[in-house]
Amino acid sequence: MGESSQAAINEKTEQIRLEQIEKRFGEQTVLKNLSLTIEKGEFIAIVGKSGSGKSTLLRLAAGLDEPTTGQITYNGIPLKESDMNAKMMYQDSRLLPWKTVIDNVGLGLKRGWKKKAEQTLDHVGLLPFKNEWPSNLSGGQQQRVALARALMYNPTLLLLDEPLSALDALTRMEMQNLIEKLWLEQGFTALLVTHDVREAIKLGDRIILIEDGKITLDVQNTAKRPRAFSDTKLTLLEKNI
Ligand code: ADP
Ligand code: MG
């Protein structure tokens, strides 16, 4: 095996660092002296009560908003100057109802995206639905389309703000498996906000609890590690032997 692939397996690589972040909206301080380092390829599950600041944290990490004080870097470079490629997924799919599934997936992209859109729809199991209107799909299928749309950009960071919380239990389980599969295959870093602790334990390498704008718990999910290792890293190992 080459040295570089060995390093890829063993080394933690810092991707995003939030340092002493404060976020205020008027009089209200929503994030309070929050520091967090996210490693490349990590799957972090974020839990916490409504209003504790989870979505605000995701928006800052995605570069959609800026902290009031503190700094955020991506691969060591200030976020704004970096080439970070982040995509968000929300509780609602935010598909355009007047565009077909495939046109939603290719939205905002320049020419030549059709083939990739078909492949991506295939990855989420929806290729046969490519010419449907979003309103003809179930909630879970619409979230699959939203996921496909995000993946079209080959994001290095995927931010998932309660994307499964409106789905029924069985569909949620299927979507959890799909997200995990795509994460294992594609290697993006994932930040998932969820109210479902079982979902956090199933998907997160690391589980973070936010209370009143502060991280009050940050634990490695040892229960998950061996599976992630056996699936992805083992494949990587096998490829390089
Ligand atoms: P969570 O996602 O954990 O439910 P949020 O990050 O959405 O919490 O919100 C945390 C607090 O910040 C809430 O009190 C919310 O009202 C407030 N907040 C979030 N975004 C804004 C905004 N753009 N303007 C004013 N207040 C906001
Ligand atoms: Mg929220």
Which ligand is closest in space to the CA of residue 91?
Answer: 2
Q: What is the per-residue pLDDT across 54-94, written as a single tens digit (0 to 9) for each?
A: 999 999 999 999 999 999 999 999 999 999 999 999 999 99
Angstrom distance (rounded) from CA 127 to CA 100: 12
Name residue 74's beta-bridge partners.
16, 77
If you take atom 21 of ligand 1, which residue's CA is the nearest one?
Answer: 25
Closest ligand relative to 56 C-alpha: 1
**Closest ligand to residue 90's CA:** 2
What pLDDT is recorded for position 226? Answer: 47
Which stretch of DSSP H or E encloses residue 207?
strand 206-211
pLDDT of residue 91: 95
| Residues in the chain, pLDDT under 70 | 1-11, 225-241
pLDDT at 223: 75
Whose C-alpha lies nearest to ligand 1, atom 6?
A: 53
210 CA: nearest ligand 1 atom: 3
CA of 36 to the centre of ligand 2 (A): 18
Atom of ligand 1 nearest to the CA of 53: 6
Look at ligand 1, atom 16, and give the residue with the nearest C-alpha: 51
Name which residue sits closest to atom 19 of ligand 1, judged by CA. Answer: 56
CA-to-CA distance for 216 and 190, rounded, in angstroms?
A: 20
Distance in Å, CA 111 to ligand 1 centroid: 37
- Residues 6 or more apart from 47 whose CB is under 8 A from it? 54, 193, 194, 195, 197, 200, 207, 208, 209, 210
ipTM of model: 0.98
Residue nearest to atom 26 of ligand 1 (CA): 25
pTM: 0.88
- CA dist 170 and 33 (Å) reads 39
- Residues with beta carbon inside 6 Å of ligand 1? 25, 30, 48, 50-56
CA of 56, closest atom in ligand 1: 6
Q: Give ∠ CA 161-162-163 in degrees, rounded to 5.
A: 90
